[in-house]
């Protein structure tokens, strides 16, 4: 991420923070996602908005001219703020629109809904079925067919927020695999709630009490609440592996055996 993009993303988050809570609706997030897809489909439009040398007032006029009639007032306000900033390139502009859309959708969710957990469960289901993973991830499939498949898999089984997010991701993957799409989205959604995600890999599921103790320990370590995703992998043999962002805490027997083999081979 270039320095221009960091500043643009910060100003976009400030614009989001300036909206009153009632404006942070699923519909506003959907509008941002839809606008991002429209911008992504037009090389000329994307290039103009993503060019750091294009004047902010010109970008604002372009956004207003194209989206005035199609977006809600709050979504248009956010999109104008995002597009008027100076991004390092057009790809990072699209990423910025997506991130703000994700944060809006996250803010709209009731406290009882864990979007990141639902995204994780969907990702686990997809990765366990190679045909399903191909159908959702192939660049040859039509966006409409992918959305229909997502609806068949998630409608009535996940929150409205999760459904909206996954629909968008499969329509605009931008060269990313489905696992990466879901991971990035989950991380942003968690961060929007001032939380992080810990992926815990272990040989078998642990009891709820142990999970609570682990969550509390990690929370003290990282200074924020964590959502814990459990990945069951028999090859771990014993112990567990925890990943939070780029940090990995590996206490598995598998890891210790690997280290021993390396020492013996050296």
pLDDT tens readout for residues 90-123: 999 999 999 999 999 999 999 999 999 999 999 9
Distance from C-alpha of 68 to C-alpha of 79, rounded to nearest angstrom: 11
Give the pLDDT of residue 254: 63
Give the pLDDT of residue 248: 85
pLDDT in tens, 147-167: 999 999 998 899 999 999 999
- Residue 78 · residue 28 · CB < 8 Å: yes
156: left (phi over 0), alpha (psi -120 to 50) or beta: left
Residues in the chain: 266
Give the pLDDT of residue 96: 96
Report the Cα 86 to chain-centroid distance in Å: 22
- Residue 40 · residue 174 · CB < 8 Å: yes
Q: What angle do CA 127, 129, 134 make, to 5 degrees?
A: 80
Torsion on CA atoms 216, 220, 222, 226, rounded to nearest 10:
20
Distance from C-alpha of 264 to C-alpha of 266, rounded to nearest angstrom: 6
- Residue 229 · residue 120 · CB < 8 Å: yes
Q: Hey, how many other C-beta atoms are within 10 angstroms of the C-beta on 128? A: 9
Q: Which residue has the tokens 């100003």?
A: 11
- Domain layout of the chain by residue ranges: 3-108, 115-191, 194-265
- Residue 127 · residue 179 · CB < 8 Å: yes
Angle between the 43-50 and 26-41 helix axes, to the nearest 10 degrees?
110
Q: Hey, how many other C-beta atoms are within 10 angstroms of the C-beta on 242? A: 21
Give the pLDDT of residue 261: 62
Q: Which of 32, 44, 54, 46 is nearest to 93 (CA)?
A: 46
Report the Cα 237 to chain-centroid distance in Å: 31
The tokens describing 77, both together, are 């306000």
Residues of the chain with pLDDT under 70: 1, 252-266
CATH code of the domain occupying 194-265: 3.40.30
Give the pLDDT of residue 238: 73
């Amino acid at each position: 991420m270039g320095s221009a993009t960091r500043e643009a993303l910060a100003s976009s988050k400030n614009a989001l923070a300036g909206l009153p809570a009632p404006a942070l609706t699923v519909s506003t997030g959907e509008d941002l996602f839809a606008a991002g897809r429209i911008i992504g489909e037009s090389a000329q439009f994307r290039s103009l908005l993503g060019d750091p040398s294009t004047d902010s007032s010109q970008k604002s006029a372009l956004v207003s001219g194209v989206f005035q009639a199609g977006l809600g007032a709050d979504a248009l306000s956010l999109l104008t703020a995002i597009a008027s900033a100076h991004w390092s390139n057009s790809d990072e502009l699209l990423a910025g629109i997506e991130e703000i859309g994700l944060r809006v959708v996250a803010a709209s969710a009731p406290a009882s809904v864990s979007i990141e957990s639902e995204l994780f469960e969907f990702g686990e289901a997809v990765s366990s079925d190679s045909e399903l993973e191909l159908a959702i991830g192939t660049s040859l499939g039509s966006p409409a067919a992918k959305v229909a498949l997502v609806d068949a898999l998630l409608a009535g089984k996940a929150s409205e927020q999760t459904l909206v997010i996954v629909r968008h991701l499969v329509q605009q993957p931008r060269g990313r695999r489905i696992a990466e799409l879901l991971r990035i989205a989950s991380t942003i959604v968690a961060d929007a709630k001032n939380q992080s995600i810990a992926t815990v890999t272990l040989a078998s599921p642990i009891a709820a009490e142990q999970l609570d103790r682990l969550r509390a320990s990690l929370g003290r370590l990282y200074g924020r609440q964590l959502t814990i995703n459990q990945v069951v992998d028999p090859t771990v043999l014993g112990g567990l592996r925890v990943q939070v962002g780029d940090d990995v805490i590996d206490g598995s027997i598998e890891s210790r055996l690997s280290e021993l083999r390396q020492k013996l081979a050296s």
